Amino acid sequence: MKFSDIHERAIARKGGLDELNALLPQLPPASALLERSDDRYLAEITRCVFKAGFVWRVIDNKWPGFEAAFEGFVPAYWQQVPSEVLEKLAADERIVRNLQKIRTVPENARMIMDAVHEYGSFGAFLSQWPSEDQAGLLLWLKRHGSRLGGNSAQYFLRIVGWDGFILSHDVVAVLRRAGLLDASPTSKKGLQQAQAAFTHWHQQTGLPYSHLSRIVSCAQDN
């Protein structure tokens, strides 16, 4: 399947090119990854972890309480936080009291601090990883972080402005229909198949990966 066919289908489904373009995510400048502080990366990772399998609106509405309860998500502190602090948070009504997800915070803080020690900041680590190897980055985050499999890491990367695809239900459906994905989208093979498709389309069109991803999702019938 040519990407031009997918693009034309998305245009038709959304009522025109202008209407489709209005749905494309805004990409921040490359410097934005470097300017974001490490605590904001831990905060966004945590937000995505808590949203997984939950009502997103509830997490967003309670987020000021999360910021207060986790005292600004400073990775240097949370990487070595005592277990009793985590247990106390499990009774804190300001947040969603899921102890398993609360325990991901120190694990993901350690992941961030490991990158900080090598690259200077987590933003510098992300900025040097090319979009042509998002599959590799997703596997790295899954291996070194906590609860960053599935789509959680993909949404995290999109939120912080790293240019990549999201394997939503609609995107997976289009890739399967095009014969470009025959494995689980969460498996190494599936991620590599998706990567190959999006990299090919990027080379064809010059469009950012995030734009390609949104266009593909808009081409799927609901």
Within a 13 Å sphere around the CA of 55, how many CA atoms are in the beta-carbon half? Answer: 5
Question: For residue 222, what pLDDT is reported?
Answer: 67
Question: For residue 30, what pLDDT is reported?
Answer: 84
Q: Residue 1 carries which side chain, given as an amino acid letter?
A: M
Closest to 52 in 3D by CA, of 197, 199, 186:
186
Question: For residue 221, what pLDDT is reported?
Answer: 84
**Average pLDDT by stretches of 10, the chain with 222 residues:** 93 97 93 97 98 96 98 97 96 97 98 98 98 98 96 97 97 97 96 98 97 98 76
Q: How far is CA 72 from CA 40, 76, 78, 125, 165, in A?
A: 8, 11, 10, 21, 29
First vs last C-alpha separation in the chain:
20
Question: For residue 132, what pLDDT is reported?
Answer: 98
* Cα 59-187-202 angle, rounded to 5 deg: 85
Question: For residue 2, what pLDDT is reported?
Answer: 86
Cβ contact 52:100 at 8 Å: no
Which H or E run includes 42?
Answer: helix 38-51
Closest to 40 in 3D by CA, of 159, 164, 166, 165:
159
The domain 31-160 is placed in CATH, from the list 3.30.390.30, 3.30.2010.10, 1.10.340.30, 3.30.390.50, at 1.10.340.30
Domain ranges of the chain: 31-160
Closest to 151 in 3D by CA, of 71, 196, 95, 217:
217
